[in-house]
Structure 1
Amino acid sequence: MPYVAPLPPVSRSKNRFSLAQFELPPLQDPRDAWELAFPSSTPYGDKPFDEGVVFPEGGRRAWLVVFGSWCALFSSLGLMNTMGAFQGYISTHQLKHLDVAVVGWIFSLYAFLTFGVGLFVGPLFDKYGPKWLVLSGSVLVVLSMDLIGNCIEFWQFMICFSLLGGVGSALLFSPSIAIIGHYFSRRRGYATGIAATGGAFGGILYPLIIQLVTPSTSFLWSTKLIALISLILCGFATVFMQPLQAPGPTASAWPNLLILRRQAFSLTVLGVFLVEFALFVPLTYITSYSRSMGFSSSVSSAVLPVLNVGSVFGRCLPGYFADRYGRYNIAILAIILTALSVFDIWLPFGHTPPGLVIFALLFGLSSGSSISLTPVCVGQLCPVEQYGRYYSTCFSIVSIGCLTGVPLAGMILDADGGIYRGLILFVGGCYAGGLVAFTWARLMATNWRLKSKY
């Protein structure tokens, strides 16, 4: 038998293999860092951002917050909707020696600051809540209206109306819109629309005060009466605009423009930019337009309040229907009606009193939705804890259009020798561009589903 060498002894290591030593690498989230920080509008199919978040959707406390927002918007957007009355009076009295385009910078800077300062107000609201923002804004708005009656020079109007009024309105405007999103989700469009009517009611009352009080007393006392009304309403806003819960410790007080990389959001911002770029032109020049057509002072003074009467319904009703049929769907329909009112009524029939009144009413009805529907459209693209940041970022970019739109319209008017046809075409063209951008944003957000409720 052949010799077979014995096998060497098996050494028994003390470090024996065990399952405990067998480790798999941790699973990685397939989404990149950008998607984790700013998820898409439909992150998991049609799952909404606010799923799992409990909203009161009503109740005494929620509706008192809506009332507080209404008071704040009455004081802030009410002034914005009165720019036509201020422009009509100032350009024919204190600053009658200046060109229309130069006077327009007063109101453009006011609108720019009202929306532009929101880039910082929105994140501050998310981080600290509305209390000190609303209180500071109230002081500035009341101080602005108390001082403007004493202004006689261009730079004085820039400081009192544009700077003080613009920053004060910004501190009131953004928290008033954002806080409603903390109490309402399913009925957010309706609640925001009700609050937004405050600006329309302010746009009705304030021009009437200037029209009726100024001839019997003076421009000084009419603005002091506006300051008194603002003081009372801002007091209600400070008391009732209470947050639903304490601001989260993870919220940042700094703005972040990287959210513009979201395609649906950036297209929405572009649409709002073009719409607001055109909106303030009729609000500022419609009183001067009616006077240039040779209408009586009573008709010229009544056009702006008529526009704001239409805006009352234009802010409330679209919000109600938006909750039922889709926020973007109703916003697109409102832009279509606004463009039609410009091209089919103002342009061919605005030189007649009935045509101008019908245009003002229809324009206010259709364009009023830009304030009430824009927040709820933006709210569909972000989680509720970032609502203030997204909304304020949107209107901060829009503020650039507000800064340049009115002076550009004034330059067009001066270039045409005081004829308003070019100005009207400019307004209609901006609304047509806004319609394209909003429609594109809606298709991007819904993955090109035409029949979806969005």
Structure 2
Amino acid sequence: MSEKTPPPPAAAQLADDSTARNSLELVSSRASKSDAGVADVELGPDPDAAKPEAPAAAPGPPGAGDFPDGGAAAWLVVAGGWAALFCTFGLVNCVGVFEKYYVAEPLKEYSSSTVSWIPSVEIFMMVFCGTVFGRLFDNYGPRWILWGGTVTYVFGLMMTSLSTKYYQFFLSQSIVASLGSSAVFTCCMSSLVSWFSKRRAAAFGIMVSGSSVGGVVLPIMMTKLIDRIGFPWMMRSVAFLFLALLIFACLTVRSRLPPRPRPFSIMEYVHVLKDLRMVITVSGLFFFMWGMFMPFNYVLLQAQAANMSPTLIPYLLPILNAVSIFGRIIPGIVADKIGRYNVMIVITFISALFCLAVWTPVNNTAGILVFMIIFGFSSGGFISLGPTLIAQIVDIRQIGTSVGTALAIQSFGALTGSPIGGAIVAAQNGSFLGLQLFCGFAMLTGSLTFLVARYTQAGFKLVKV
């Protein structure tokens, strides 16, 4: 006889039915509470349930939280950029030495206005070619551009040491050397932007102070070496020094962001200028640079005309650049706290004011020294803050193209400013008054343009911009 499974006891059956009813009532009660809008933390989504995938958003530019704002790698970039700026813009700060030597020795048959085209085109090429090298930086990163720029720059300086004719100085110094210099400093500027956000202006100020230190050391060294070993060997000595420093820069400067290769399009440069803030800011950079290099180019010639002591004249540019060290670091630190546009407006206005109120009326040693000290401090911040203004209003992933576009436009100010000043001096029979007025009003226009750029972003509210 087969065994059959006995049916469950009645009590157990009743218990199961009761449990089922209670579960149904509990679910029903929770559902009604949920429908009534009552929050029930116990009824969250099942963690094991599959979640619907949200549509992928387009990647935006890196936020401030993505920037390390410090660390060994970031500060090595600052150190390498400092060495590079010592060699590149540090030499540009010595254009007065070249102007004085060329007019007195190998190019004495040319006017000072004609000779001034050599340093003017050099500055123009350095700044304008940032358009090309900035785009190459975005596409390929800084490594090979830095090495190629180093070789080209040192080669151009060596060729300058062999030059004796106007066209030779022009080709070697204004074209070849400036191309290499542009490649180096554009990579350093664009790389640094990718490492700092909150402390960006301070980091730029420290890096760009390398050019001021170069402006202190190089004029004294060059003047002494010209007297002792002659101009050719002076240039070779400077070239070897730069080679060592630039190798250090090549080994330390790199970008935090990976390169983004894309085909060349001229419209990308136009697209950058569709932003009204960018257009007004770049206009301010142009006007200020239109007048900025005139004191560097002509103060030594003015000092000679004012019968300043010959032993003091070689130290005028070092004095200007020594003060500029503090002018490049301190405004950057302050700008990170109260706003980069705010500080740029103040320092450019002070530069223009003292050019018109101090440089214009004086014609003696004391007055020239006072102007050099004040102008050195106030104008120093312009170089360090300029790129930070651009980085503040553009997509950081296209910083090379954006900074390159800004540099290209302001380079025309550097190209034409000093020759215009030289022509004014020649037209006024050696008087520097017209040059000083042109310089002051050009920089004042730049300061007012920065004020307009700030107004487009925050009006006249006392806020950090």
What TM-score do you get using the length of structure 1 for normalisation?
Answer: 0.87
Is 2:320 the partner of 1:307?
yes
- Residues 281-325 of structure 1 show CA distances to partners (whole Å, capped at 9, x for unaligned) of 111111111111111222211111111111111111110000001
Identify the residue that residue 272 of structure 1 maps to in structure 2: 285
**Amino acid in structure 1 at the alignment position of 2:327:** G
Partner of 2:461: 450
* SS at structure 2 position matched to 1:108: helix
Letter paired with 1:371: I
User: Aligned with 1:451: secondary structure?
Assistant: coil
Instruction: Give the Å deviation of 1:445.
Output: 2.1
Give 5+ residue unaligned stretches, structure 2: 1-56
Letter in 2 for 1:75: C
Structure 1 segments (4+ residues) deviating >2 Å:
49-53, 248-255
* C-alpha separation in 2, matches of 1:311 and 1:381: 26
Instruction: Indicate the residue corresponding to 2:103 in structure 1.
Output: 91
CA contact (8 A) 1:125 1:388 kept: yes
Question: Percent sequence identity over matched residues?
Answer: 32
Contact 1:251-1:385 within 8 A present in 2 as well: no
SS of the residue corresponding to residue 246 of structure 1 reads: coil
8 A contact 2:306–2:365 mirrored in 1: no
| Cα distance in 1 for residues equivalent to 2:148 and 2:88 | 13
Preserved CA contact (<8 Å) 1:338 1:431 = yes
1:397 aligns with 409
Q: Is residue 417 of structure 1 aligned with residue 429 of structure 2?
A: yes
Name the structure 2 match of 1:338.
Answer: 351
Deviation digits for residues 20-39 of structure 1, max 9, x if unmatched? xxxxxxxxx9xxxxxx99x9
Cα distance change of structure 1 residues 249 and 104 upon mapping to structure 2, 3 Å threshold = closer
How far did 1:105 drift? 0.8
**Could you give the per-residue CA deviations for residues 104-141 of structure 1, whole angstroms, max 9, x where no partner exists?**
11111101100111111111111111111111111122
Candidates 381, 400, 407, aligned match of 2:393: 381
Please name the residue that 2:51 is paired with: none
CA distance in structure 2 between the partners assigned to 1:243 and 1:194 by the alignment: 18
**Structure 2 CA distance for partners of 1:153 and 1:452, relative to 1, 3 Å:** same
- Asked if the contact 2:192–2:255 (Cα under 8 Å) also holds between the matched residues in 1, the reply is no
Corresponding residue of 2:173: 161
Amino acid at match of 1:381: I
The offset of 1:353, in angstroms, is 1.1
Q: Normalising to structure 2: TM-score of the pair?
A: 0.85
Residue identity opposite 2:291 in structure 1:
A
CA contact (8 A) 1:312 1:368 kept: yes
Deviation at 1:251, TM superposition (A): 8.5
- Structure-1 residue corresponding to 2:258: 246
Q: Does 1:230 align with 2:242?
A: yes
**Is 2:293 the partner of 1:291?**
no
CA–CA distance in 2 between the matches of 1:398 and 1:178? Answer: 17
Q: 2:418 aligns with which of 395, 406, 411?
A: 406
Residue of 256, 262, 268 corresponding to 2:269: 256
- Is the Cα contact below 8 Å between 2:281 and 2:453 reproduced in 1? yes
Give SS of 1:452's match: coil
Given candidates 316, 321, 327, the residue that maps to 2:334 is 321
For residues 390 and 456 of structure 2, the distance between their equivalents in structure 1, rounded to whole angstroms, comes to 14
| 1:126/1:252 contact within 8 Å kept | no
Q: Could you tell me whether the CA contact under 8 Å between 1:69 and 1:195 is conserved in 2?
A: yes
CA distance in 1: counterparts of 2:376 and 2:417, whole angstroms: 18
The reply on whether 1:430 has 2:430 as its aligned counterpart is no
From 183, 204, 207, the counterpart of 1:171: 183
Equivalent residues in 2 for 1:1-400, closer than 5 Å: 50-51=62-63, 54-249=66-261, 256-349=269-362, 351-400=363-412
Letter in 1 for 2:88: S
Residues 153-188 of structure 1 show CA distances to partners (whole Å, capped at 9, x for unaligned) of 100011111011211111012111111111000000
Aligned partners of 2:297, 2:333: CA distance in 1, in Å? 28
Q: Residues 216-271 of structure 1: CA distance to partner in whole angstroms, max 9, x if unpaired? A: 22111211111111001100010001222421356868652232121111011110
The letter for the 2-side match of 1:453 is K
Q: What is the CA–CA distance in structure 1 between the aligned matches of 2:100 and 2:207, rounded to whole Å?
A: 28
Structure whose CA Rg is larger: 2
Q: Deviations over 1:403-446 (max 9, x none)?
A: 11111111001001010000000000101110111000011122
Partner residue of 1:17? Answer: none
Matched AA of 1:81: N
Cα distance, 1:52 vs structure 2: 6.0
Q: CA deviation at 1:328?
A: 0.3
Q: Does the aligned pair in 2 maintain the 1:271–1:434 contact within 8 Å?
A: yes
Measured in 2, the distance between the counterparts of 1:312 and 1:298 equals: 23
Whether the aligned pair in 1 keeps the contact of 2:64 and 2:197 (CA below 8 Å) is no
Q: CA RMSD in A?
A: 1.8
Between the aligned partners of 1:427 and 1:345, the Cα distance in structure 2 is 12
Counterpart amino acid of 1:373? L
Deviates more, 1:141-150 or 1:383-392: 141-150
For residues 253 and 219 of structure 1, do their structure 2 counterparts lie closer, same or farther at Cα, with a shift above 3 Å needed? farther
SS in 2 for 1:348: coil
Give the distance between the partners of 1:60 and 1:258, measured in 2 at CA: 36
Counterpart residue type for residue 161 of structure 1: Q
Deviation readout 1:336-382 (Å, 9 max, x if unpaired)? 11012211211122x12121111111111000111100111111111
